Amino acid sequence: MFSFHRAAVAGLASLVLAGCATAPNNKPMSAQVASAIQPVDLRIGIKQSEVYAAFEPSMGGASAAAACGAVPGLGILLAAACGGALGAVDATVNASRAKTADEIVRPLKDETVDAKFDQLLTDAIGKSLQGIPKFQVSGTTLTKTVDPKAYEETFRASTASAVMFVNVDYHVSPDFSTLQVTARGLVYPRSSAARTAAGLAAELPAPGKDPVLAPNTAAYHVDVAYHAKLPVQATAPADYVAAWKADNARLLRAGMNDGAAQVGRLLAEDLQRAPDSQRTVIRKAEPAKGLPGDLLAESNGGQLMLMPGGMLVFKTTLSKDAGTASAAVPTATSAAGTVAAQ
């Protein structure tokens, strides 16, 4: 088994598998399951092809659906999907807001048409998870077809003992001031030994019967998010976009590099955290206004927070010279600083 330690430290279809009614509680991996799931087939699901701008959805007066939009960093597409499932959504208003947001962010999309953000995220997450002692990754694959049907086909076709799906989303916030990268990690046991260790029936259910990737069959579940704010204040969304776009989108590219590294690190550290370990809370903190969480650690301007639903949120402000020749592109140990979870 890989070693455990107390870590030193949006209809986005990629998140459909675990549901969206509320921020789900994270599920740590037990030592028993960890020893039985090797090797693991790693699948990174990133449906989008470019950065997009989030917007505040009209929930059509459905108070229950508002809970979806209150989850920090899960992405506007996920919030919209939840709203559609839980109550009436004003489609006309949302379509107008989406169109406006896309028009504002379009110059930034055009400036980063050459960027391979999906490959950047895949490489960073894969490298981080492959670095876990005794965690055997049989292969890392980026998938752009992200939906329950495709995922079940992938899971059934795999020959590994387990499949880990990491579903990733990246976008700028509704006010355009912050880059947000989010990821949901899910491990599903596949072999008889792995399923037995996880308390499941040894044999997979027959196709068309019980969902093989139901939320309650995941042996591990974690949500992590990275929030990087621009080092400038602006009064209009277009001004924030101009700041992101300046110098060949230097700050956005730097933020994506740092976000990929931080998300990969958080996933790897949480995978190794003992299920019974207690987190030390420094004080209350907010990754976004009105969204209180527990501050677990802070260093060099970076803060790591735990949200009530279990999501880990890393929040930082990019340095003005991030990504320049005189300053190394931010990574988990540079401009944003390493913030370790207890």
Three-state SS letters, 230-266 = CCCCCCCHHHHHHHHHHHHHHHHHHHHHHHHHHHHHH
- Name the token pair of 97: 């807001």
The closest alpha carbon to 82, from 149, 26, 11, belongs to 11
Whether the per-residue pLDDT at 292 is higher than 90: the answer is no
pLDDT of 97: 87
Q: What percent of the chain has pLDDT over 70?
A: 78
Whether the per-residue pLDDT at 4 is higher than 50: the answer is no
Whether the per-residue pLDDT at 150 is higher than 90: the answer is yes
Mean pLDDT of 27-44: 94
pLDDT of 59: 64
Residues 63-77 have pLDDT tens digits of 444 444 444 444 444
pLDDT of 1: 42
Most confident of the ranges 25-39, 92-106, 256-270: 256-270
Domain boundaries, the chain: 13-52+65-317
Whether the per-residue pLDDT at 306 is higher than 60: the answer is yes
pLDDT of 69: 44
DSSP letter for each residue of 33-69: HHHHS-SEEEEEE---SS-EE------TT-TTTHHHH
Mean pLDDT of 222-235: 95
Average pLDDT, the chain: 82
Whether the per-residue pLDDT at 60 is higher than 70: the answer is no
pLDDT of 209: 80
201 pLDDT tier (thresholds 50, 70, 90): very high
Mean pLDDT of 145-151: 93
CB neighbour burial string for 35-67, b if at least 16 within 10 angstroms, e if fewer: ebbbebbbbbbbbbeebbbbbebbbeebeebbb
240 pLDDT tier (thresholds 50, 70, 90): very high
Q: How far apart are CA 53 and CA 172, in angstroms?
A: 5
Whether the per-residue pLDDT at 12 is higher than 60: the answer is no
- Name the token pair of 49: 């092809």
The closest alpha carbon to 171, from 110, 109, 113, belongs to 109
Q: How far apart are CA 129 and CA 135, in angstroms?
A: 8
Give 328 or 168, the one with higher predicted confidence: 168
pLDDT of 8: 27
